[in-house]
Structure 1
């Protein structure tokens, strides 16, 4: 196995299986071909447009209301699971204008790009190396139970800024105080196109690093984490490279950390250039 295997697992979508979802004069998502007729039945919200599908309303508030109604009906019929009651932005890019908002659980169903924050907490060893705080997801979590995560991660709600959301997630997931969480440094993004039964995730994650004190131990605060483990970076590298224990996108966040910290060297890793480009395929 290799780092490229982790990147391929994250970028597993065959885009021939999807058609564009259009609205407001632009493409806003990707819908699986086998769901076109299902969406078209909700003609107050969606309409067929050539080989693809589009929003039936062009005015944002009316479009949002109609889509909300259709998505609620689809969820009641069992087509959308794990309803969150959390709003996600629909936008062409993170800094672009919000076109509308939708229920978080429906974002993959419509192939709408989502954003999130992923934070890698590390401790600097006296010899110059790193230990990483790794989270094991709760075993009763509805998504990816028991898999390994970055120290803190969370989706990006419509109403919060990135740093604000990160501080919130740090407190909720790992009991990291706000003053300490605010020291996290933004270090870039990863992006991918991941197909899963719910639909398509053409997502972009904002990555942060946080150097944690030697005497600080994260604590599972909200029940989403089973336990935290402090592991040498060398051991985490082996887990990422040789197993699929990490949640698909968390593996890419860690590969990015390894590269930035010089833990994967271009002379020692023949796939170095392909790994670097693969972190931003989305």
Structure 2
């Protein structure tokens, strides 16, 4: 599979299979027709039509939106319609820099197709042999992408933390990176995509960071979510992205973003312009 095919895989979804999820006359997600039909049972929370699912206009505060939607999600989890309750809250907002309309359990975010946020960190090491990157292998017990390759640090953005606070927390939990070192991570932009995945419609904005680590540092997982770490030359990373399915789908996107930024891919590459375009989703709604 080519790098461009990796990028395209992050942008595949079929809009005809969904209805827009509307809050205050603005689209905030997309819901499958099957789930929309089930939401008709909750008339005090959702206004469901053949064209859309709208949060009831009677819910006007952060608190009552959160409470009422939570009760619906718990009922859907109990009935097995949403597989699990994650006990981690995501902010529901179309911009991280705007106050959220309410908060929602992470386990439901993909089923409502809301915009989710996260941080992905390239763990980089300058060596005498050239640039190397720390790669983590996800634990086989992970419900999503078990055993696939990942960044040294990556995670969804929970409600109530700043981006940097979350990065520092994830760095400590996933790789035992001291706070003072994690705080030196440099923001390098973001990638955005919307694609159909087993856990729902992923409508993600990932903030990307570079973190340069000393050659003497070895990451150690603290939360049981990483099976093993590898320190690979950049050439090996490129080969594995291009020729295997080993990397988690969105990790490939962030790594390609890094390759573009750092000049490992250039305008002379046939797919260069398409790869750059693929760093962000193209649809607006």
TM-score normalised by length of structure 1: 0.96
- Once the two structures are TM-superposed, the CA of residue 50 in structure 1 deviates from its matched residue by 5.4
Q: Which runs of 4+ in 1 moved over 4 A?
A: none
**Residues 23 and 58, structure 1, Cα contact 8 Å, conserved in 2:** no
In 2, Cα distance between equivalents of 1:239 and 1:198: 25
The residue number in structure 1 matching 2:12 is 12
Matches within 5 A, 1:17-32: 17-32=17-32
> How far does the alpha carbon of each residue in 1:220-275 deviate from its partner, in whole angstroms, 9 at most, with x for none?
111000000000000000111112111110110100111111111221x2100100
- Once the two structures are TM-superposed, the CA of residue 25 in structure 1 deviates from its matched residue by 2.8
| Matching residue within 72, 79, 86 for 2:81 | 79
SS at match of 2:161: coil
In the alignment, structure 1 residue 199 sits paired with structure 2 residue 200: yes
Unaligned runs of 5+ in 1: none
Unaligned runs of 5+ in 2: none
How many residue pairs were aligned?
280
- Once the two structures are TM-superposed, the CA of residue 167 in structure 1 deviates from its matched residue by 0.5
**Residues 32 and 199, structure 1, Cα contact 8 Å, conserved in 2:** no
In 2, Cα distance between equivalents of 1:108 and 1:179: 34
- Once the two structures are TM-superposed, the CA of residue 42 in structure 1 deviates from its matched residue by 1.6
- Once the two structures are TM-superposed, the CA of residue 133 in structure 1 deviates from its matched residue by 0.2
More moved, 75-84 vs 206-215: 75-84
Matches within 5 A, 1:76-155: 76-126=78-128, 129-155=130-156
The residue number in structure 2 matching 1:208 is 209
The residue number in structure 1 matching 2:39 is 39
Matches within 5 A, 1:229-268: 229-267=230-268
In 2, Cα distance between equivalents of 1:131 and 1:272: 23
| Matching residue within 58, 61, 65 for 1:63 | 65
- What is the root-mean-square deviation of aligned Cα atoms in Å? 1.2
